[in-house]
Structure 1
Amino acid sequence: MTDSETPTGEDPRETERGGELTHTDREGNVQMVDVGAKPDSDRRAVARGTIHLQPSTVDAVRADDIGKGDVLATARVGAVQAVKHTWETIPMCHQIPITNVDTDFQVRDDRIVLTVAVETTGKTGCEMEALEGVTTGLNVVWDMVKAAEKDESGQYPDTRITDVHVVQKEKRVREE
């Protein structure tokens, strides 16, 4: 079997373009993709997302005046934890060795943008880890500020998480 073939002998790039599924076999059984024959490579993925908030809530975050504590520090911890535990929450996701996680918050007038960069050395990429970091980090922000965001009826008319996406993916094959 070559590096580009699945156990069934098919090229996995074809399966990604509409052929057979890689996470189920012909009988419908769920399976993890076998990456054992692939060489280790240095990999990096960067994901980004936005949480939209009321300007008064953003001001309170900036002033560290949210009753639950430091919003961005807590969200940073949540993002890193999510990256490290992605394999536990995404079915068929490989457990990979995380070598680095960087988080960056851009606090704007009516939103907070979170960028998470994940690095690994291994046989499979880390895009899912970066996405999990972003979504969990932004969910932590929401949890920390929800008292400030609720309207008189207890709803969140202005709060929303948007634009979660992978902005960069890199793979560098290691030379021996």
Structure 2
Amino acid sequence: MRFPSMRSTSRRPLLRSACFAALALAAASPAFAASDTANLNVTITITSVCDIHTTAPLPVNFGSVSSSATNVDQQGQLTVNCTPGTAYTIALDNGQNGTDVNSRKMANGANLVPYQLYRAAARGPTDVWGSTTGAGGNVLAGSGTGAAVNVPVYGRTPSTNFPAGTYNDVVIATITY
């Protein structure tokens, strides 16, 4: 009978231990040991915008009144939506039948009924709403909120002592920002 040599059996546990140690070391170490970084810039440019036509203006409708009425007041409305913090002005032109803001008139053929539009409910002389900008201007100024804002337009016709009929005018509202 042959006995195995001491040399060969004493190496087997040592070999097994070395393999287990190598496997354990490989499992514990990450596959990649180095890293690097870079900055990724993210940008956006937002431009200012104002909208005065998405919601149709409510007309200044003086209604049906007798020819003896005086200082007939009514109110219309514009709706504006501007980028938050965007300064704007709203101008109203002379209408189709006026030569300046103080001579606005509604027409029915050759007959004309004078009226005025104002920025404030008091309807005073300094409240007349026109299209003059700068010092002494008569436009309405505001600043955008990012939401739709209702802007009242106050109207007055001082006298209705004119021939019976339906009178009309069209005023153009312009927003500048």
Q: Greater relative contact order (Cα 8 A, min sep 6): structure 1 or 2? A: 1
Q: Tell me the TM-score range normalised by the shorter chain.
A: 0.3 to 0.5
Q: Quick check: which has more Rg, 1 or 2?
A: 2
TM-score by length of 1: 0.33
